[in-house]
Chains A and B, each alone.
Chain A
Amino acid sequence: MGEYPTHVLVCAGAGCISSSCKEVEQALIDELKKHQLNEKIKVVETGCIGSCDLGPVLVTYPERIFYQKVQPKDVKAIVEEHLLQGQPVERLFYQDAVTGKTMAKYDDIPFFSKQVRIALRNVGLINPVNIEEYVARDGYGALAKVLTEMTPEQVIEQIKNSGLRGRGGAGFSTGLKWEFTKKAQSDAKYVVCNADEGDPGAFMDRSILEGDPHSVLEAMAIAGYAVGASQGYVYVRAEYPLAVERLGVAIEQARKMGFLGENIYNTGFAFDVEIRVGAGAFVCGEETALIASIEGKRGEPSPKPPFPAQKGVWGKPTLINNVETFANIPPIILKGAEWFAQIGTEKSKGTKVFAIAGKITNTGLVEVPMGMTLREVIFDLGGGIHGGKRFKAAQTGGPSGGCLTTEHLDLPMDYESLTAAGSMMGSGGLIVMDEDTCMVDVARFFLEFTQDESCGKCTPCRIGTKRMLDILNRITEGKGVPEDLETLETLANTIKMSSLCGLGQSAPNPVLSTLKYFRDEYEAHIYQKTCPAGVCQSLLRYQVKSNVCKGCGLCAKNCPVGAISGKPKNPYVIIQNICVKCGLCMQKCPFNAIEFC
């Protein structure tokens, strides 16, 4: 890490920026200057360290002390007590939510120590917009190796042997895809990085682009060499302005240093990369739609075959891989296929980055070996359920996926097991739900999303999802009828079978999976007209707890529609068909005798 004996890493990922890390960084720089430490201690701005809910976070090196929720006013103590006198500031340590134990070191915290970081190897460790730091960590070394020591065939062989599979959703063998693209005959070919990351609840690609953009550029150049392309595109979604900015800086730097452009490493190989910013359409993450969008058209999917490897951008063979897939490439080249293939399970090699969010204690990004169990991810790394509630389900695969329940807690998370359980790996979003989450509402939520994002090109997806959504809306409003469940299943199967692209084909999955595991919740909505989790507003009612009510009459006095009746000193009653659910009575009751459930 250069000539400075001590480094302080300041996370400048999007999460920490929103919790004002820049002010903390400035305070730190000022304080170091004040003590003439600016020559000895270097402040490094990094990408997301992963524990965004603890931000702003700082890590000192070489000791690897981890400070969380640092405020500008805390900086003085960090400099004076820790950096000057060697006494780390305990009050800023991480505290384990389960055991209550405080932990000083990065490596002691299970959230970090249980990770194996390959795709995220540099994220949170280097300054993403300083190419020298990337180079110092073997950056562009894999590119040098392939250009000077390997034939394109050898590169492809190595990727194939590693067992790497696409991290963008479908899990197709990356090496095979490269091989198909290489074999296609054409005067021009393209390499595309899919950074559209539209799955709600997923942000691993964002973190890689913002935290280590060079790793993606290097991998794209390697891919260009392997398949015979000289132009690359990164298609980034518009919602990620910081990623676009850092990627732009990285491309400039790489060009300047000769890692992109003409005659790279003096080998005559030329490769350059351009950024395309999406315009807010989820379906553009689908590869054929993405190609249409790069060409300047409406982002509508087209039938496959032909696959992009045969006919992609401007009708030319095109290799499309996901950001995380690319980020795995340089280490595989440098450390070998065998090294990579020994991590993970038999058919799912390497690691997977998961974005854990929802009702979980530690939210954030983790990279773990394929095959780690759901239990380990949620309870060991994630610190269990938020607020001591009970685990109910975890949703993987976003709007195309399904949910896993307590019976799946010991399921190894890899492509095959997740699919077998009726969910899917997807891009890596893992949303945890607790007893307060209504699964019917979740299914409705996903369907509303896919219905909204359906491009409308084919009828089953356009009309079918609309009909399913109407039914789900009805059920959550307490107007469901017994036939609804069967109709939902029939519609779901039709849409799955007859839609043109992956969006339609997978849109019914969240409904099917919740119907399978949480049918009782659907039935409660339909038959008892209740929402067991207490989420669906139309099914909730205000009620007087007769054993708590003192009969003071205050609620009745305040009810604007006269919906409460009763005799003083006796329990009062709310007449449901008059009540307009304004909630005033609950606020006014001095004895907390009114509940909403």
Chain B
Amino acid sequence: MAEAKKVREDALAVPRRRFEKVNEIIARHGKSASALIPILQEVQEEYRYLPEEILTYVAMVMDLPPSTVYGVATFYVQFSLEPKGKYVIKICDGTACHVRGSDPVKEAIRKRVGLKNEKHTTDDLRFTVETVSCLGACGLAPVVMINDQIYGQMTPDAINVILDKILEEEGDVK
């Protein structure tokens, strides 16, 4: 028993230093199973995604089977197992936005940030473009959210102006 405990502690020793932040987050929420989702949410905020080794680590510290943690992380669309861009652009394709023309706006965004085919995140990890269903600002359809900021009554031209500004701030004058 003591041996097993020691092995476990050794296994945790290295990551513990690397995952300082994760420890802090877990300490704040406690180790009850119901804290798992809030913990993963904060971890994701910190790292912008859920790296696999961190999921394993969280499982170990919280004494949960890794499959449980993995199962939760894959169930909810908010969680991403792949790195997301610095700017997460959510295009609403809820009903109100759909009937007011969200598709052309989406096309304009993907074109402007240079995303092709099925890809959601640019190679330089600057932009992630996702569609969501309803951002709750349907009166302003079509709606786009960039990080936490909402932009309403979008058109391809309007969103290009906004993206140009971001790209300019990024020092990228195209």
Contact = CB atoms under 8 A, between A and B. Distances in A.
A404 to B, nearest CB: 14
B95 A398 contact: yes
Interface in B122-159: 132-141, 143, 145, 148-153
A449 B133 contact: yes
A398 B96 CA distance: 10
Contacts of B7: none
Interface stretch (B15-23, B71-79, B110-118, B165-173): B71-79
A52 B96 contact: no
Nearest to B92: A200
Interface in A221-242: 238-241
A14 B136 contact: yes
Interface in A269-310: 276-282, 293-300
B137 A52 contact: yes
A296 B149 contact: no
B133 A431 contact: no
A363 B136 contact: no
Contacts of B120: none
A281 B137 contact: no
A358 interface: yes
Contact of A53 (B34, B37, B153): B153
A42 interface: no
Interface residues of A, number: 54
Interface in A302-325: none
A25 interface: no
B139 A297 contact: no
A437 B32 CA distance: 49
Main SS at interface, chain B? mixed
A340 B68 CA distance: 47
Contacts of B98: 200, 445
A17 interface: yes
B36 A201 contact: no
A238 B133 CA distance: 12
Given A19-B152, A53-B153, A398-B95, A282 B138 contact: no
A474 B133 CA distance: 23
Contacts of A376: none
Contacts of A398: 95
B83 interface: no
Given A239-B134, A278-B76, A294-B34, 11 more contacts: A18-B149, A200-B94, A201-B94, A203-B137, A279-B41, A299-B76, A359-B99, A429-B138, A431-B99, A433-B99, A449-B133
10 contacts: A52-B137, A200-B95, A202-B136, A277-B41, A280-B132, A296-B37, A357-B139, A358-B141, A442-B99, A449-B133
